[in-house]
Chain A
Amino acid sequence: MIITFGMMLVFFAGLIVILQRIRLDDSSFSNYAVGDRSFGARYQAMSFLNTWYPGAMFTAFGGMAAASGIISFYVLSYSLLTVMLMYMMAKPVWMWGKAFDLKTQPDLFSLRYNSRHIRTIAAVIGIISGIPWLILGMQALGEMFRFLSLGTLTFSQAVILGVVVIAIRQIWTVRIGMRGVVISDFYQGMVAYLAGTAMLIGLIAWLIVAKGISFSSLDATRFTLPGLGSKEGPMFLFSLVLTGALGGWCWPYIFVRLFTANGVASLKKSASLAIPLSFIFCLALLIFGMLAGMLPSATSHPDAVWFIASQEAGGLILLGLAGTVLLAASMGHIDGNIQATGAQIANDLLGNYFTLSTRQLIVISKTGMLLLTLLASWLSCMALPALFSLAVLAYQGIIQLAIPQFLGIFWKRGNKYGAMTSMSIGFAVAVTLELMYQGNPPWAYGLTSGAVALIVNVIVYVVLAYLIPQNASEKARVTALFDLVENKNTMLQT
């Protein structure tokens, strides 16, 4: 326990040293919320990865690969498609962000649809949907501490320890804001995805050479995908990949990454840096999961396959490293979630209806982060049996932001009536279907509730775009927005 916990302590101490060296600058809310749009490609790439791949990748998706096989590879497809979306969105979103000082995802909705209330709707959906995932992230840390304590800590003690560690970490998130999040993401990302990938490749080699496990050792059923006549339905994989790729950019803490870059070039370069790393890391993780699932000790605990294989291959030292990697990945996700939520509470909820000074915005944002950390910490220590169902429900709901978001960025015709109606109806349909059928309506050929709702959502959006045409001034305003992207492709870059 001293070895495993000691290694994590060294990592955590290094992180604190880095955070302490960051200069505090509260001179503007833009600085606090989006780091003054000052980050280059390398910081952007690592910040994106550290927010995109949480620690649960090693447990939930590693476990899924171990238990269910090749179907888990859907996460690889959608994770890379989402970087492709980033590449496509980079120019309009960053340029609008720079020109109109956008700081949050709801800010973009408000700008594109010229509506104050859409900002509130998007913020409320984003904040509420993010809370179950925050709690799950904190509880996953508890699971990790329980494993790394080698049986010394009970589950409750381990969860409390996990909550305490992540709560201490939030002191710097609250103090420094986005600048602290992005800089620490770089350090955490190096540990999680560079050291993590090296470990994964080493463990795959160990499984093949020392344990004699290869793909040919696996049952053929581990390589089948749901097709015609399958229990899940023929469209199941389509649905998972589509909602995963579109849904990623609906999370406020992912979307805000588009505003922290210092230019379109940095964003696009960050995509080109992140994608090979994402490809190798995710592929290695899933191959590792499938092979390590054959270890006799992992068959009954697939979610712990990362820890089990690490300990068997390299004893307590590798187990400590496995814990450090997972801790680094978890921190990036949790920090990003808390930071983005705090910024939204100040900017999109209170700031939407009251005129607030920079000082007031920052104080409200910090208070929001502190309260959210305390609320999530408290809830994490409780037994919440429906938490995972709530998190799935939240995901099916939040992806309904995708239609007004993406069509708003790439299509001039959409209007605020269509945007608000489509995402509200989409959200209601997704939640209703999720509650009625637990995710997979039996008549939908494998489409998940969120995917069915997306169809309704897009129909409503497009129909209302044609039924309620924009008036002349709105049409001119939207055209000017799109012209800004088309005609001044480099002028606003710094």
Chain B
Amino acid sequence: MPTKKSMQVYVVRTWFLLNVFVALYPPLYWAASEHRELILGLPATFVYFTAVSLSITLSILYAFWQEAANGELTS
């Protein structure tokens, strides 16, 4: 049975991979570009870039937080 620590490592790796996928997978940004309706009052391509960037930012903050909490960062 996976430990809590190994689960957290998998979460970080999966999140990082997901970031790479959504930042690079062309059909996603093609779809955003063709989506004419506003999302929360904002253009879809703007929402796409902001969401991708926010996800990358949060993933690193989470990775650092969980490594620090597990005592893996000693200096």
Partners in one complex: yes
Chain A residues in the interface with B (C-beta under 8 A): 70, 73, 76-77, 80-81, 83-84, 87-88, 215, 220, 223-225, 227-228, 234-235, 237-238, 241-242, 262-266, 268-269, 271-272, 275-276, 279, 282-283, 489-490, 493-494
- Asked if residues A225 and B73 are in contact (CB atoms below 8 Å), the reply is no
* CA A83 to CA B64, docked complex, whole Å: 12
Given A77-B23, A77-B52, A262-B75: A70 in contact with B45 (beta carbons within 8 A) = yes
- Asked if residues B46 and A241 are in contact (CB atoms below 8 Å), the reply is no
- In the complex, how many angstroms separate the beta carbon of B75 from the nearest chain A beta carbon? 4
- Asked if residues B61 and A272 are in contact (CB atoms below 8 Å), the reply is yes
Give the residue name and chain of the B residue nearest to A73 (CB): B49
- Asked if residues A80 and B53 are in contact (CB atoms below 8 Å), the reply is yes
* CA A262 to CA B73, docked complex, whole Å: 12
**Chain A contacts for B23, CB-based, 8 A:** 77, 81, 241
**Chain B contacts for A80, CB-based, 8 A:** 53, 56-57
Which of A80, A266, A489, A493 counts the most chain B CB atoms within 10 A? A80
Given A70-B46, A225-B33: A268 in contact with B67 (beta carbons within 8 A) = yes
- Asked if residues B53 and A279 are in contact (CB atoms below 8 Å), the reply is yes
Given A238-B24, A268-B73, A269-B64: A84 in contact with B56 (beta carbons within 8 A) = yes
- Is the interface on chain B under 10, 10 to 19, 20 to 34, or 35 or more residues? 35 or more
**Chain B contacts for A490, CB-based, 8 A:** 72, 74-75
- Asked if residues A228 and B30 are in contact (CB atoms below 8 Å), the reply is yes
**Chain B contacts for A275, CB-based, 8 A:** 56-57, 60-61
Using A70-B49, A275-B61 as known contacts, list a sample of 18 further A-B pairs with CB atoms less than 8 Å apart, ordered by residue number in A: A70-B43, A73-B49, A80-B56, A81-B19, A84-B56, A84-B60, A87-B64, A220-B43, A223-B43, A225-B29, A225-B33, A227-B30, A238-B26, A265-B75, A266-B75, A271-B64, A283-B53, A490-B75
